[in-house]
Amino acid sequence: MTAPTTPAGEKPLPTGWRGPVLPVNARSGDMREFILADGVEPSVRPLPIALSAQDEMWEAHEGSRVVGLITRAWVEDGFLWAEGPLDLEDKFGAEYARKLRDGFAGWVSADLSDIALEEIPLRSDKTEWTADELAAAYAAFESGTGEQPDVAGQLLRVHEWKLMGVTGVSSPAFETARIQPVYDEFTAVSASATLTAAAEQHSGAMVALVPSAEDCARLAIDGYEPPDVLHTTLVFLGDAAAWSPEQRDHLELALGGIGLVPMTGTVWGHAQFNPDGDDPCAVYLAEAEGITSLQSAVMGALEEAGNYDLVPTQHECFVPHITAGYNLDVDKLSETGPIRYDRLRLSFADTDVRDIPLDTITAALVASAVVYDAADFTIPEAEELTALTVTDDGRVYGHLAQADSCHIGFADVCVSPPTSNTDYAYFHQGEISTTAGPLPVGKLTLGTGHAGMRQAARAAAEHYDNTGTAVAVVRCTDGLWGPWLSGRILPGVDDDRVAELRRSGVSGDWRSIQRGSNNLELVAVLAVNVPGFPVPRTRALAASGIRSLVAAGVPPTRKPHVEPEESITASAIATHVRAELRASAHRESRRQTVNQRVRAARMAAATRKAGLNHGM
C-alpha cells in the first residue's frame, strides 16, 4: 500500500508522536482515578505495543486500526507519557499523521489490562464516604434518627493497571490526554512489520481455555509455570508472526460469536508428556463436558474469519490437559477434583493476549468496571429459616431451601436438598470484582422455566443463560437451616424486575455432573411461583436412578392417607415426653450453634471491614 505524497509547499508529515496518555492520581470526568505511588514505575506490556486510532465514532475503542507504535512509556508531571513512530507506509497511518499535524487528531485514551479497583461512594459535592461513615448514616436512617444518606454516585479508584496500548478517539475521558506530532526524531516504520518481528521472538499462537483464578492458584507449582499462564489448548495457531493485526481482530470477533458459556469439569489425573524429548513436561489431565464441541466451534470460527489456511495440522488425538511445568517430575502433581473454565484466550505469544469471558454477565460487569463490597456476599446465615429477601439498597439474602424439608412433587418419598461436595463450584460460574479481590458467583435468573429433566449440566446452564434474565449475583453456602444465598442485585435492573423478584420464591436446579454418579450439584437458581426444594436424599436418588430434579409446579391433589389411631397408654406418654425432651434439647443446641456461628461471622466481617478501611 502506497502512502499519500506530500504536495509541494506543504509541511511534511510527522514521523512520530509524543504526549500524556493518562493522568495518574487524578479524577476523570466519568469518575475514574488511576493510582500510582511515587517512585513506582508504570506497568507496561512488553514493548513495542500498538498506537491505534478510530476512523469512526464507535464505543469501547471498536473499529480502531494500528497507526503507529509505542516504544517508550514513563511518568512525568502527574501523567503517564508515551511516544513512538508513526506508520507512514500505511494509508490509514499516513492519514492519521496528517490529522495529527493539522490539529484534527491527538485526543487519546489508554487501553489498560490487569485492572484491580474499588468502588468509592460519593456525596452530591463529590466528596467521598468512608465505609464506617456510610454504615453509620444508613443505620441512623433505618432507625429513624437520621436522614437518608446523600449517595450521588461513585468513584472507581484503580489501584493496579497495565498499559497495553493507546487509541486515538474523539471524546477522551481525560481532556488532558492529548498527544503531539514529532518530527525528525523517529524513523517512520511499518507498525505491522515491527509487531510481527516482535512476535517472532515468541513463536507460538493458540486458542485456549483458561481456568478460574482460584483453580490456577491451586494447580500452579512454585518455580514452574505461573498461575496466570495455565491453560488448556484447544487449537494451536502456528507462528504468531504469521498473523497480521487485522487477522487477529477478525478471529477475536468470530470467537465472540460462537455462543460461549462457562464450562465445568474435572482434573482426573496426571501424566508426563514428551518424556524422551528435549522438553518433557508434567501435565494435569482434564475433562469438561462440551470441550470437544467447543474445539470444533473454534475451528469453525477460524474458517468463518478466513484464517483457516494459517492453522497447522492439529494432533490426531486431542487430550485436554494443563501443563504445570517443563522438566518437572510428575510426582510433584497432587491436585485433582473440580475445575471451572471461565475465559477463552486468544494468545499470540506473550506480546498479544486477548481473554474473552465465557459468561456474558461477567463480561458486562468487567466492561462497566463494577466493584462490589465483599461483605455483601458473606452475609451471615439468619437465626431462623428465611425466605429470599431484597433490601432497598440492593442486597439479596435468604435460604434456597430448608435442609430437612421434603420436595412437594413427591408423595411417596421425602426428597431433601443435599449439601454440595464442591462448595457450589458448579453454580459459582461467573466472577466479579470485589473490595477483597475476584470472587466466583452464581446468577439468580428471572423470567424462564426450568431446563428439561434429562439435560446435562452444561446444557441446563446454557438454557438459563439463553432464556432468562439475570437479576442478581449471589454466593451459595451450606447453612444450618439449608443452602444460604447472599449477594446483590445487578446494576441496571429496574424497580419492576426487583418487585417481581420479591413476589417470587426461589428454586434450585441440581444436576449430576459426572456420568454414572449419584451426587448432584447446584447449577442454577431461578425465581418461580411455586418452588419445590428439588433434590432427593442420596439413597432415594440412587434407588430411583434420577440424575436431575428441578422445582415442581403445583402438585396434583392427592387423597390423604389416614393412619388408624392407636390407643394411648402410659408407656406411650412416657416415650412421647422423652422424645419431646430430646427434641427440645436438640433445638436448643442448634439455636446455640447458630448464634455462635452468627457472632463469629459478624466478628470476622467486622475484622475484614476494619482491615479494608485501614488499607484505604
For 115-124, the pLDDT digits (tens) are 777 778 888 8
Q: Note the pLDDT tens digit of each residue in 606-616.
A: 444 344 333 33
Residue type, 41: E
Contact criterion met (CB below 8 Å) for 413 and 536: yes
Provide the pairing of β-strand 154-168 with 32-34.
parallel
Q: Note the pLDDT tens digit of each residue in 472-500.
A: 899 999 888 889 999 998 877 888 888 88
Q: Which phi and psi (to 5°) does residue 361 adopt?
A: -65, -45
The fraction of the chain above a pLDDT of 70, given in percent, is 69
CA distance 20 to 594: 57
Res. 195 pLDDT band, cuts 50 70 90: low
Bridge partners of residue 522, in order along the sequence: 510
> SS3 for 283?
strand
Residue with cell 497447522: 312
Of 333, 358, 383, which residue sits at a domain end?
Answer: 358
Domain that holds residue 272: 202-358
Number of domains into which the chain is organized = 3
Contact criterion met (CB below 8 Å) for 339 and 286: yes
CA distance 99 to 93: 10
Residue with more model confidence, 152 or 449? 152
Is the residue at 37 inside a domain?
yes
Bridge partners of residue 229, in order along the sequence: none
User: Which of 213, 205, 165, 202 minimizes the C-alpha distance to 45?
Assistant: 165
Res. 16 pLDDT band, cuts 50 70 90: very high
Residue with more model confidence, 541 or 508? 508
CA distance 274 to 312: 20
Residues 458, 407 within the same domain: yes
Residues 294, 424 within the same domain: no
Q: Note the pLDDT tens digit of each residue in 537-547.
A: 232 333 333 33
> What does the pLDDT average to over 432-457?
68
- Widest pairwise Cα distance in the chain: 118
Please say if the pLDDT value at position 310 is more than 50: yes
Is the residue at 562 inside a domain?
no
Please say if the pLDDT value at position 560 is more than 60: no
CATH code assigned at 260: 3.90.1140.10
Alpha helices (H) along 222-359: 245-255, 291-304
Res. 36 pLDDT band, cuts 50 70 90: confident
Residues 467, 518 within the same domain: yes
Residues 178, 286 within the same domain: no
Residue with cell 483453580: 215
Give CA 300 to chain center in angstroms: 25
Residues 187, 206 within the same domain: no
Residues 283, 138 within the same domain: no
Packing angle, helices 570-615 and 131-143, rounded to 10? 130
Please say if the pLDDT value at position 586 is more than 80: no
State the cell numbers at 467: 432464556
Please say if the pLDDT value at position 99 is more than 80: yes
If you write DSSP's letter for every residue of 541-584 in order, what string do you get?
A: HHHHT--EE----SPPP-PPPPPPPPPP-HHHHHHHHHHHHHHH
For 207, other C-beta atoms within 10 Å of its C-beta total: 24
> What does the pLDDT average to over 408-433?
69
Residues 418, 515 within the same domain: yes
User: Which of 203, 204, 425, 227 minimizes the C-alpha distance to 323?
Assistant: 227
Is the residue at 384 inside a domain?
yes
Please say if the pLDDT value at position 571 is more than 50: no
Please say if the pLDDT value at position 308 is more than 70: yes
If you write DSSP's letter for every residue of 331-387 in order, what string do you get?
A: GG----EEEEEEEEEEEETTTEEEEEES-HHHHHHHHHT-EE-GGGGSPPPPSS---
Residues 32, 180 within the same domain: yes
Res. 188 pLDDT band, cuts 50 70 90: low
Q: The pTM is what? A: 0.40
Cis status, amide bond into 12, omega within 30 of 0: no
Please say if the pLDDT value at position 565 is more than 50: no
Is the residue at 316 inside a domain?
yes
Please say if the pLDDT value at position 288 is more than 80: yes
CA distance 162 to 228: 15
CA distance 372 to 192: 40
Residues 160, 267 within the same domain: no
Is the residue at 158 inside a domain?
yes
Of 154, 171, 196, which residue sits at a domain end?
Answer: 196
Residue with more model confidence, 198 or 32? 32
CA distance 255 to 251: 6
Which residue pairs, CB below 8 angstroms and at least 24 apart, start in 185-189?
185/15, 185/16, 186/15, 186/16, 186/83, 186/84, 186/85, 186/86, 187/15, 187/85, 188/15, 188/16, 188/85, 188/86, 188/87, 188/88, 188/89, 189/69, 189/85, 189/87, 189/89
If you write DSSP's letter for every residue of 384-418 in order, what string do you get?
A: S----EE-TTSEEEEESS-TT---TT-SSS---PP
Contact criterion met (CB below 8 Å) for 379 and 390: no
Is the residue at 429 inside a domain?
yes
Q: Note the pLDDT tens digit of each residue in 347-378.
A: 887 678 888 877 655 555 544 456 788 899 99
Q: Which phi and psi (to 5°) does residue 501 adopt?
A: -65, -40
Res. 62 pLDDT band, cuts 50 70 90: low
Is the residue at 190 inside a domain?
yes
Please say if the pLDDT value at position 572 is more than 70: no
Please say if the pLDDT value at position 533 is more than 60: no
> What does the pLDDT average to over 389-418?
71
Give residues with Cβ within 8 angstroms of 21, minimum separation 6. 79, 80, 81, 82, 108, 109, 110, 163, 166, 177, 179
CA distance 490 to 504: 17
Of 515, 531, 556, which residue sits at a domain end?
Answer: 556
Q: Which phi and psi (to 5°) does residue 539 adopt?
A: -65, -45
Residues 301, 407 within the same domain: no
Residue with more model confidence, 233 or 559? 233
Give CA 466 to chain center in angstroms: 18
Instruction: Give the burial class of 372: count Cβ atoms within 10 A of its Cβ; 0-12 exposed, 13-18 middle, 19 or more buried.
Output: buried
**DSSP letter (8 states) at residue 20:** E
Is the residue at 586 inside a domain?
no
Mean pLDDT of the chain: 74
Residues 164, 264 within the same domain: no
CA distance 187 to 198: 17
**pLDDT given at position 378:** 92
Residues 370, 505 within the same domain: yes
User: Which of 209, 207, 526, 461 minimizes the C-alpha distance to 340?
Assistant: 209
